[in-house]
Amino acid sequence: ELKVEQNPLFLSMQEGKNYTIYCNYSTTSDRLYWYRQDPGKSLESLFVLLSNGAVKQEGRLMASLDTKARLSTLHITAAVHDLSATYFCAVGGDSNYQLIWGAGTKLIIKP
């Protein structure tokens, strides 16, 4: 059974700092997604990673996928307050159409 673990679950950081959120998963998968959720809002797609070694960047966020290590990272560079949100990773499951989600990382960036 596929399990997805994110850490940390909560992160408070200062503006301007760099940090990384980790997404580990327990069985083989080559499909991984990152989403963002603002408080009281819906989810917004950030990245879709579909192959080993995939790296995608958007602004101050960069995501990577290592399928051999069963690990994805979401790196935040020079954080700004607007990036405060909860970040979820989701991993493709045994079924082609199944997604298993991590518990989310709540990120607070202080001015």
Amino acid at 73: T
- Contact between 101 and 5 (Cβ < 8 Å): no
Considering the complex, state which of residue 12 and residue 18 has its C-beta at the smaller distance from another protein. Answer: 12
Residues that bind another protein (CB under 8 A): 4, 31, 33, 41-45, 48, 50, 88, 90, 92, 95-104
Q: Give the nearest distance from C-beta 93 to another protein in angstroms.
A: 8
DSSP state of 27: S
Q: Give the nearest distance from C-beta 104 to another protein in angstroms.
A: 5
- Evaluate the omega torsion of the peptide bond into residue 8 and state whether it is cis, within 30 degrees of 0: yes
d(CA 6, CA 87): 9
Considering the complex, state which of residue 15 and residue 30 has its C-beta at the smaller distance from another protein. Answer: 30
Q: Give the nearest distance from C-beta 65 to another protein in angstroms.
A: 13
